[in-house]
Homo-oligomer: A and B are copies of this chain.
Amino acid sequence: MSGLSLEELCARGRAAIPILQSESGDVRDRAVRAMADSLPENAQEILAANALDLESAAQNGVPPQMRDRLALTEERLRGIADAMRQVAALPDPLGTGEEWVRPNGLRIRRCAVPLGLVAMIYEARPNVTADAAALCVKSGNCALLRGGKEAFRTNRAMVDCLRRAVQAAGLPADCVLMPEDPSRETAQKLMRLRGTVDLLIPRGGKNLIRSVVENATVPVIETGAGNCHVYVDESADLEMALAVVDNAKRQRPSVCNAAEGLVVHRAIAPKLLPLLRERMPDVEFRGCAETCALLPDCVPATEEDFYTEYNDLILHCKVVGDVGEAIAFINAHNTGHSEAILTQNLRNAERFTAGIDASAVYVNASTRFTDGGEFGFGAEIGISTQKLHARGPMGLSALTTVKYIAYGDGQVRA
Contact = CB atoms under 8 A, between A and B. Distances in A.
Interface stretch (A159-167, A169-177, A267-275, A358-366): A358-366
Given A408-B364, A410-B243, A357 B102 contact: no
A226 interface: no
A251 interface: yes
For chain A, give the interface size range.
35 or more
A244 interface: yes
A244 B410 CA distance: 7
Contacts of A108: 375-376
B386 A391 contact: no
Contacts of A359: 402-404
Interface stretch (A30-38, A69-77, A212-220, A309-317): A212-220
A402 B407 contact: no
A207 interface: no
A contact face: mostly helix, strand, loop, or mixed = mixed
Interface string A374-414: 11100000000011110110000000011111111111110
Report how many copies the assembly holds. Answer: 2
B100 A366 contact: no
B100 A376 contact: yes
B387 A116 contact: yes
B413 A369 contact: yes
Nearest to A324: B18
A253 B387 CA distance: 35
B365 A411 contact: yes
Given A108-B375, A388-B199, A389-B388, A361 B405 contact: yes
Contacts of A22: 354-355
Contacts of A244: 410, 412
A406 B362 CA distance: 5
A355 B198 CA distance: 16
Interface in A321-356: 349, 353-355
Interface string A204-240: 0000000001100101010000000000000001001
B100 A403 contact: no
A412 B251 contact: yes
A403 B391 contact: yes
Given A115-B387, A388-B219, A405 B368 contact: no
A412 B251 CA distance: 9
Contacts of A214: 217
Contacts of A413: 247, 251, 366, 368-369, 374
Nearest to A414: B251
A368 B410 CA distance: 12
A66 interface: no
Nearest to A411: B365
Given A217-B213, A366-B412, A401 B388 contact: yes
Contacts of A21: 354
Contacts of A386: 219
Contacts of A401: 387-388, 391
A4 interface: no
Given A217-B213, A401-B387, A102 B374 contact: yes
B412 A243 contact: yes
- A-B pairs with the 6 shortest C-beta distances? A365-B408, A247-B412, A368-B413, A387-B401, A240-B410, A389-B389
9 contacts: A115-B388, A116-B357, A361-B406, A363-B408, A364-B407, A369-B406, A387-B401, A391-B401, A391-B402
